[in-house]
Amino acid sequence: MCLGVPGKVVEIHDTIATVDFWGVRRQVKLDIVDEPVKVGDYILNHVGFAIRRIPEESIAETLSLYEMLMREAEDDAMAGDVRSEISAGSEIGEPVGKS
Amino acid sequence: MNGEALKFRDPEAARALAGSLERLMAEIGRPVSVMHVCGSHEQAIAKFGLRSLFPKSLTVIMGPGCPVCVTDVPEVDEGVVLAGQDKVHIATYGDMLKVPGTVKSLADAQASGAKIHVVYSPAQAVELARQLPDEQIVFFATGFETTAVATAAVIVDNPPPNFSVLSAHKYIPPVMEIVAEMPESRVEGFLAAGHAATITGWKVFEPFVERHKVPVVVAGFEPLDILAGLVELVALIKDGLARVVNIFPRCVTEEGNLAAQRELWRVFRPTGGRWRGIAHVPNGNLRLRDEWAHVDARKRFTIDLSSLWDYAPPQLAQQCICGDIMAGIRNPIDCKLFNKECVPENPVGACMVSNEGTCKIWHLYGGVPDLSTVEVSA
């Protein structure tokens, strides 16, 4: 639950960014991010909010763990937490609470 | 043991770090216990079989690093009671559903007709409130400071009037004080969680280090990050140096995320409260400040827990040693219920519920892998 997930910002409207996570695009809120974010930046998403703009020189190193986890089976706990974090972004165009 | 274990991006570096740990522990020449306070650290340690690389004299304990696990029974009860009220819907993180309350979990309440929604973000709970304007949506908010900042952000962003928050958020630094002061605890150093420190900054640990004279190392979640963090921590212990070292600069700065801290403390105030199985933790709970009373479910609703207290607590729950496990005094394998009566499908204690609970993690990956059954891939 405390494991954020990095993604690439592809579009920004006001305080909402469209972020690409390994091909899955989600809307992430920018209300509490630490630095100004622009298209092309990588951010760390936690429960639907960007909590950090990842410095450019750290992007590759940050992504490597997740790239391995994204290849993991559905039932792996750590990979499952990462997938939950991606689900925390709202789906584009139709933000919904899942029940 | 998971077949993927012990695969490192850089096995040479892993071996070198394991060698450094071995040498440092040999120089210290006595057993040492250190604690991390993060479910994701334990997941990585267990998943990658790191304990098999640790020197025998080094014990790495998972402390109270699972927010779901330390959500106290009366907090779950509040959610269960609210869920039973007319027109009230509870929105919460999926991990919370099976956490046992005094008599019922939220999943039990749902089975008897309560309206419970799983969300992945507080923003999704707000959206649900917008979609159901004639219903009351209570966001049952759990998590440490990393997660509480997101709750704060939706509270200050003018949520609809039918949205409120039942906060069970917890704040990590004060519980480290409690663990450090426990007489049974022999923890000589702490590995702090990278993403929580992304918010607070590493400086937040300085007063703690000053008071307790134990080092804190802030580390990331890659197997190599954790190994490097332990090497740093054990080196500090060997040299008797109590200081904060940040080896996760790609995510953690000295001051942390100031914008997020501002929203966090604008909305929440720290207050004392029980952490399940651990202790009363002064300043360990985050509750809404009075100016946000209109969003505070505890102020908006009458929550009468006494109806639940007529029941005796279930017998098995009394044998659960979750508290000792989270305090680092015992391991899951010391519990009679572990993997017998207590399994993820039917958890007795909260540590078996969450993917970040020590018992659930050990159930999934095994705790201390038997090296003879593991192939070390290069």
Q: Where are the domains of chain A?
A: 5-91
> Taking a contact as any Cβ pair under 8 Å apart, which residues of chain B between 265 and 284 contact chain A?
none
Percent of chain B with pLDDT over 90: 67
Contact B193 A62 (CB under 8 A): no
Structure tokens at B7: 């695969």
Q: How far is A15 from chain B (nearest CA, A)?
A: 11
pLDDT score of A90 more than 90: no
> Inter-chain contact B40–A76, Cβ cutoff 8 Å?
no
CA-closest candidate to residue B150, choices B96, B198, B205: B198
Range name among B28-42, B225-239, B311-325 with the lowest pLDDT average? B311-325
Provide mean pLDDT across the span B337-365: 89
Give Cα separations from B272 to B205, B223, B260, B276 (angstroms): 19, 35, 22, 13
Q: What is the pLDDT of residues B168-187, one digit of tens each?
A: 999 999 999 998 888 777 89
Q: Report DSSP letters for B190-223, one per residue.
A: EEEEHHHHHHH-GGGGHHHHHHH---EEEE-SSH
Using an 8 Å Cβ cutoff, are A49 and A22 in contact?
Answer: no
Q: Is A78 on the interface with B (CB under 8 A)?
A: yes
Average pLDDT over residues B225-251: 95
Q: Is B259 on the interface with A (CB under 8 A)?
A: yes
Q: Does B70 have pLDDT greater than 70? A: yes
Comparing A81-90, B130-139, B173-182, which segment has the lowest mean pLDDT?
A81-90
Least confident range of B111-120, B122-131, B346-355: B346-355
Mean pLDDT of all residues in B177-203:
89
The shortest C-alpha distance from A74 to chain B (Å) reads: 13
Q: Which of B137, B207, B116, B146 is nearest to A47 (CA)?
A: B146
Q: Are the CB atoms for B70 and B64 separated by under 8 Å? A: yes
Contact A33, A51 (CB under 8 A): yes
| Alpha carbons within 13 A on the beta-carbon side of B363 | 24
Give the pLDDT of residue B131: 97
Per-residue model confidence as pLDDT tens digits over A3-38? 789 999 999 999 999 999 999 999 999 999 999 999
Give the separation between CA B252 and CA B229, rounded to whole angstroms: 14
Architecture of domain B73-171+267-306: 3-Layer(aba) Sandwich (3.40)
B331 touches chain A (CB under 8 A): no
Q: Are B65 and B191 in contact (CB under 8 A)?
A: no
Where is average pLDDT lowest: A60-69, B142-151, B303-312? B303-312
Q: State chain B's mean pLDDT as an integer.
A: 90
Check whether B374 has a pLDDT greater than 70.
no
Type of residue numbered A55 = P
pLDDT at position B47: 87
Phi first, then psi: give them for residue A19, nearest 5 degrees.
Answer: -125, 135
Judging by beta carbons within 10 Å of its beta carbon (0-12, 13-18, 19+), is residue B343 exposed, middle or buried? Answer: middle
The region of weakest confidence among B83-97, B124-138, B169-183 is B169-183
Residue bearing the bigger pLDDT, B7 or B309? B309
Tell whether the model's pLDDT for residue B366 goes beyond 90. Answer: no
Mean pLDDT of all residues in B68-86: 93
Helix axes B145-155, B258-267, angle to 10 degrees: 70
Q: Can you tell me the ipTM of this complex?
A: 0.87
- Could you list the beta-strand ranges (E) of chain B: 32-36, 58-62, 88-92, 115-118, 136-141, 163-167, 187-193, 216-219, 244-246, 268-275, 279-288
Strand order, beta sheet including B187-193: B58-62, B32-36, B187-193, B216-219, B244-246
Confidence of residue B227 (pLDDT cuts 50, 70, 90): very high
Cβ B153–A29 below 8 Å, yes or no? yes
pLDDT band at A71 (very low <50, low <70, confident <90, very high): confident
**Cα–Cα distance for residue pair A49/B304, rounded to 1 Å:** 34
B354–A95 C-beta distance less than 8 A: no
Judge whether B167 and B141 are in contact, CB under 8 Å.
Answer: yes
Distance, CA of B162 to CA of B368 (rounded, Å):
48
Of A3, A47, A95, the CB nearest to B127: A95
- Stated pTM of the model: 0.88
Asked if B4 and B375 count as a contact pair (C-beta separation under 8 A), the reply is: no
- pLDDT bin (cut points 50, 70, 90) of residue B376 is very low
- Distance between CA atoms of A43 and A33, rounded to whole angstroms? 8
Contact of A16 with chain B, judged by CB distance below 8 Å, is answered with: no
Output the pLDDT for position B311.
59
Tell me what the mean pLDDT of segment A69-95 comes to. Answer: 78
Among A28, A45, A47, most B C-beta atoms within 10 A, so best to mutate, is: A47
Inter-chain CB proximity A4 and B198 less than 8 Å: yes
Query: How far A30 CA lies from chain B's nearest CA (Å)?
Result: 10
Which of residues 14 through 43 in chain B touch A, CB cutoff 8 A?
38-40, 43
Nearest CA in chain B to A29: B123
Q: Which residues of B touch A7 (CB under 8 A)?
A: none
Nearest to B188 by CA among B148, B249, B138, B242: B242
CATH 3.30.2270.10 fits A5-91, yes or no: no
| Paired residues of B121 in beta bridges | none
The whole-number average pLDDT for the span B63-86 is 92
| Shortest CA distance from A81: residue in chain B | B355
A92 near B CB under 8 A: no
Identify the pLDDT of residue B59: 93
A54 touching B, CB under 8 A?
Answer: yes
